[in-house]
Structure 1
Amino acid sequence: MLESSFWQGLLSVDPKDVSSSDVLRDCCDGKVFVSNTFFQENPSCFKLVLYQDAFEVVNPLGSAKKKHKVLAVYFSLLNISPHARSNVDHMQLVLLCREKDFKDFGHDKVFSELLTDLKILEENGIMMADKTVVKGALYCIAGDNLGSHCIGGFTENFSSSVYLCRYCLLTRTDFQGADPAVCGPQRTPENYRSATEHLEREDVSEVHGVKFRSVFNSLQNFDVCTPGMPPCLGHDVFEGVLSYDLAVYLRYFINTKKWFTYTHLNRRIKQFKYKGTDASSKPCEVSPKALKLGGQAVQNWNLLRLLPLIIGDKVQNPQ
């Protein structure tokens, strides 16, 4: 694969040539990438993104629930242009492990081979077909919030933990008693390291929401608090904020403005002529009694995008 002209062309592109200081178009425009000295000193290196998630291979509602749950880790490359990188064909499987075995054997053993390969890549690199050596480094680890907290060594009980954020040191009391948009002191590699050193010295289960030092922090050019574990837009936005806010807006349009009814809205959602990939992820019907939308992330995203086409003619005072 690395011998193909396709890959040779990708590696010859300097991110500085396609980046812009005032426009955020891709990961290479962000502060995390720009502040990474390895990527700046090796512009043609491999820039890896790991993605982890756990899934059920049997009925998740039956008696075998969680019995056969599997943790999967994939990787993609930021060297690929964004429009091509969104295609799942470019995601490669790294490892599979039963979640039960993952909990029994621990992070060190499960990720040991992967970490060995990553260290070789960032220290020695890979020899290409033209005899040049190309190094690489881990840019980030993507995943849902529960998986990211697990990999990063943070507390995973979001309903009761004092510290519930992997980006800042905001406490639950401050979050519930103030503006929900308030942020605490930012987590940094320094205070993360201080917390893990405290854990090693004292007999405590967690310090400032940190339970253990992530094994991925053994890499030279990656840290979970740079931040190295981005938020999950699918869960946080499309199944989170959007699902509640859009339900509120629709309730206002229907109950207050009287522009249409839930029956009329759901009929239009059902009869709308979906095309392409939208046809396989049609939005769900909206329940009059539900506080949030009931669809999955891509279904809620499609409803948000297509809503002006579905009910736009019913809006009577667009000003």
Structure 2
Amino acid sequence: SYNDGHYFKDNSLLNSEEFRITLGLYVDDFEVANPLGTSRVKECGYEKVMQPLVKDLVHLEQTGLFIDQLGATVKGTVLYVSADNLGAHSMAGFLEGFTAERFCCFCMGTRTEVQHTEVGSSNTETRTKDTHDRHVKEVKQDPSLSKLYGVKGSCPLTDALQHFHAVTGYPPDILHDLLEGIVPAELCLCLSEMIEKSQ
């Protein structure tokens, strides 16, 4: 389970023996007959749109909620945000256009390195909390560095919560990356190959 994972164990709020609430948020750009679309987020930004939620999350993390059935105050925090790549990049403060020199939110590999070498944990430098925080700070001082680092600003959740960070809080999303991404493409190629070989 995720309780056994590295990020859960490293989270000083969650690794306590006391009962804690872990939240997973889901972000997707799904619209059904919505004439406004995502214009609110584009117009105001995630920081403004998420302000009421972030306020409640800060309260949960710092003060907690009294649960009558437990007879105790329980704290909690956001463990992860599941989103498609565009949503994750937008909310986490990375560039959304994927045209940056360093476009990956997991590693510091350049566009050239990713295109011409095998990408793996040993081949590219992993993004760390410290590196990311430094990049955000530098981009705020000099916005021209944004394309170099692939960072446009800070993440509202990282700014407000003590136990959440943009680098560790946005895992790959199985629905978008696998089920709607590479799996149908690979499955189609495999089936085409099998059909071709059977003839």
TM-score scaled to structure 1, two decimals?
A: 0.58
The change in CA–CA distance for 1:255 and 1:140 in structure 2 (over 3 A counts) is: same
Choose from 103, 106, 109 the match for 1:164: 103
Task: Show the 5 A alignment for 1:264-275.
Answer: none
Query: Residue by residue, what CA displacement relative to the aligned partner does 1:147-169 show, whole Å, maximum 9, x if unpaired?
Result: 000000011113x3322211111
Residue identity in the other structure for 2:22: K
| 8 Å CA contact retained: 1:162, 1:209 | yes
Q: Does 1:184 align with 2:124?
A: yes
Residue identity in the other structure for 1:123: Q
Q: Look up the match of 2:166.
A: 224
Task: Show the 5 A alignment for 1:8-87.
Answer: 26-58=1-33, 67-69=35-37
Query: Residue by residue, what CA displacement relative to the aligned partner does 1:83-140 show, whole Å, maximum 9, x if unpaired?
Result: xxxxxxxxxxxxxxxx212221222221111111111101111111143111111101
What is the rounded CA distance, in whole Å, between the counterparts of 2:92 and 2:192 in structure 1? 39
| 8 Å CA contact retained: 1:56, 1:68 | no
SS at match of 2:8: helix
Query: Residue by residue, what CA displacement relative to the aligned partner does 1:33-60 show, whole Å, maximum 9, x if unpaired?
Result: 11111111254111111111122222xx
The change in CA–CA distance for 1:179 and 1:157 in structure 2 (over 3 A counts) is: same
Point out where structure 1 has 5 or more consecutive residues left out of the alignment: 1-25, 59-65, 70-98, 259-319
Q: Look up the match of 1:61.
A: none
Q: Look up the match of 1:288.
A: none
| 8 Å CA contact retained: 1:151, 1:214 | yes
What is the rounded CA distance, in whole Å, between the counterparts of 2:143 and 2:182 in structure 1? 38
After superposition, the CA RMSD in angstroms is: 1.8
What is the rounded CA distance, in whole Å, between the counterparts of 1:205 and 1:104 in structure 2? 23
Q: Does 1:175 align with 2:114?
A: yes
Q: Does 1:108 align with 2:43?
A: no
Q: Does 1:212 align with 2:153?
A: yes
Q: Percent identity?
A: 29
Residue identity in the other structure for 2:87: G
Choose from 82, 92, 117 the match for 1:152: 92
The change in CA–CA distance for 1:121 and 1:145 in structure 2 (over 3 A counts) is: same
| 8 Å CA contact retained: 2:100, 2:149 | no
How far apart are residue 181 of structure 1 and its match?
5.1
Q: Does 1:256 align with 2:185?
A: no
What is the rounded CA distance, in whole Å, between the counterparts of 1:253 and 1:108 in structure 2? 50
- 4+ long deviations beyond 6 Å: none
Q: Does 1:135 align with 2:75?
A: yes
What is the rounded CA distance, in whole Å, between the counterparts of 1:175 and 1:30 in structure 2? 27
| 8 Å CA contact retained: 1:163, 1:170 | yes
Query: Residue by residue, what CA displacement relative to the aligned partner does 1:250-295 show, whole Å, maximum 9, x if unpaired?
Result: 112111233xxxxxxxxxxxxxxxxxxxxxxxxxxxxxxxxxxxxx
What is the rounded CA distance, in whole Å, between the counterparts of 2:97 and 2:194 in structure 1? 37
SS at match of 1:37: coil
**Bigger Cα Rg:** 1
Residue identity in the other structure for 1:165: C
